A and B are shown apart, each in its own frame.
Chain A
């Protein structure tokens, strides 16, 4: 069952230099109770994409076009109040670097209780009980509740954020780079917790990260983004074992594994959202580029079973 559908979403930023077309026509579908990964390098638009989905774009940014259908409702058409009621309860968001966005002068428990009281009708006492239960659930000792954020390590703060995102049992949790800047051991613990969100609480998780190896450990299906567009979608096995798009292939072969003794990078630099290359946006760096690639933008080719690739090598018009 489909939980979220993004149709032809465009998020632009106005500037004196012109229009930054950061997200430039993204279509994807996320099924209920799946962990969906969005991967891509810095500047490809993955964070802006999820901000667009959650309607968190602030001026000079704006949503130029598109629809975001969540449980049959177009999020882009809701008014602020209707949207506010969905936040935390239905849609939780763990923004990039959010462990540093906890209120430094409020105790952990108090800021969590605030969220519960603001978005549900339970009593304060029940809210406190709930908060303690979730802190325990993410493996934090009870005394953390009465601590201030500066007394916690990065990994502990990230657990608080995850507990907070789970509090009201949302159906969709979007986590943007939740393990970046954490040590490997803590990273693994946090990834386990994200998996629990789905396995134990039945939540759908969208995991956004540039690090491909963590995708391989966590997600069921994933999308690869390049230059404001999604260039390939498939199951995690398909993406890692039989990538189709030349960019996906190169990206995966850039990551060392214990056996891969030779890794290749991708020469050249990522293009700017101010002026995307004509045709396929990857053609200036693509080793398999053909004459058509610089002239015509490849249309997404639906290969069935949720597999999509946008590349002239695989036909399409």
Chain B
């Protein structure tokens, strides 16, 4: 069997809300029975796609070991994340890096750019001398099309959002992780720099063989940057497969709705029909039983309300969890 770089097996996360002093706590299932993997070998960008509240960020935090898992397993190169953190946190932190949505909060505001990068080099013992470290920093910046003279000596607040996020990629290029977990890294930066960031990410994938778990609500970006997509609805995987296939021909009615709602930057191809959302489903509904999309699905049947649709293989590397395909 092929070794997996990252493997999620029936991962569930239940949050406890409130309670105490004799009050009953509520439990919210943020992630339920999520299974998917990223293989070793060829680097792959896997997009985790879903709306707000779908559990994407919770999954990212569990993969990074920042949030506990309620049940199930997350394995990085065959060993659970919890074990990695106990036995060899140094290797795990070096090999699995993260980029978050807010490019500002990731930096110590009192450190200049070069110090931030130098600390990464020092921590992971990437250079034997200060001169070598400086050389590495300048080389990495140039490799990603950044001008060292524009960045060095500056503080994080003096950089634009796009520059701050690209600096995280410079950091990644120095550390050379095997897996990058990127949680909505471009949602706060402008289109022109977004494109540069995404191209830099694709460049890293090729040049340092880095795989990436790319979390986004934007299907257009997921389609551009990723090889495979995993679509989440209310904490469950509803569809998985090669990105372009999902984008061109979504199978699950939820994926279909998401794809149809993506605005296309071409006025010749405007939406022709209207979509409607039933008023009573405007608020978030988390079904206890059955399909996570049952409240909004146009094809819903009684079976969808009582049974969980199993995720089935439908060929060409695609999987879908919907009774329409079983």
Q: Spell out A's residues near B (CB within 8 Å).
A: 41-42, 139-141, 152-153, 155-156, 183-189, 191-192, 210-217, 236-237, 240-241, 250-252, 254-258, 260-261, 263-267, 269-270
Contact = CB atoms under 8 A, between A and B. Distances in A.
B1 interface: no
B282 to A, nearest CB: 5
Contact of B267 (A216, A251, A260): A216
10 contacts: A42-B190, A153-B284, A183-B52, A184-B218, A192-B275, A256-B220, A257-B265, A258-B264, A265-B196, A266-B193
B199 A265 contact: yes
Nearest to A192: B274
Nearest to A237: B267
A256 B192 contact: no
B191 A140 contact: no
A281 to B, nearest CB: 15
Given A41-B190, A211-B263, 6 more contacts: A153-B283, A212-B191, A255-B220, A256-B195, A258-B247, A263-B198
Contact of A265 (B193, B258, B264, B282): B193
B279 interface: yes
Interface in B233-265: 247-248, 257-258, 260-265
B151 to A, nearest CB: 11
Interface in B187-237: 190-199, 217-221, 223-224
Given A42-B190, A254-B191, A217 B274 contact: no
A216 B270 contact: yes
- In this complex, which of B195, B248, B258 has the most chain A Cβ atoms within 10 angstroms of its Cβ? B195
A140 B195 contact: no
Contacts, number: 138
Contacts of A237: 267-268
A243 to B, nearest CB: 12
B110 to A, nearest CB: 22
Contacts of B197: 265
- In this complex, which of B191, B217, B248, B260 has the most chain A Cβ atoms within 10 angstroms of its Cβ? B191
A214 B263 contact: yes
Contacts of B282: 139-141, 153, 155-156
Contacts of A257: 220, 264-266
Contact of B263 (A41, A213, A254, A261): A213
B191 A269 contact: no
Given A140-B282, A216-B264, A256-B223, A188 B195 contact: no
B265 A183 contact: no
A270 B189 CA distance: 12
Given A184-B258, A189-B275, A269-B160, A41 B264 contact: no
Contacts of A266: 192-193, 195-196
A217 B263 CA distance: 6
Given A139-B276, A153-B282, A256 B258 contact: no
Range class of the B interface residue count = 35 or more
B83 interface: no
Contacts of A155: 282
Nearest to B283: A153
Given A156-B282, A216-B263, A256-B221, A183 B51 contact: yes
Contacts of A185: 51, 257-258, 261, 275, 277
Interface in B257-309: 257-258, 260-268, 270-271, 274-277, 279-280, 282-284
B163 interface: yes
Nearest to B189: A42
A252 to B, nearest CB: 7
A247 to B, nearest CB: 9
Nearest to A250: B192
Contacts of A251: 191-192
A255 B261 contact: no
Contacts of A156: 282-283
Contacts of A255: 191, 195, 220, 265
A265 to B, nearest CB: 3
B264 A212 contact: no
B231 to A, nearest CB: 12
Ranked 9 nearest A-B pairs via Cβ: A265-B196, A265-B195, A266-B192, A213-B263, A256-B224, A41-B190, A254-B195, A213-B265, A183-B51
Contact of A184 (B150, B163, B193, B262): B262
A210 B267 CA distance: 16
Nearest to B146: A267
B264 A217 contact: yes
Contacts of B191: 41, 210-212, 251, 254-255, 265
A158 B219 CA distance: 22
Nearest to A256: B224
Contacts of B218: 184
Interface string B156-197: 000010110000000000000000000000000011111111
B216 to A, nearest CB: 11
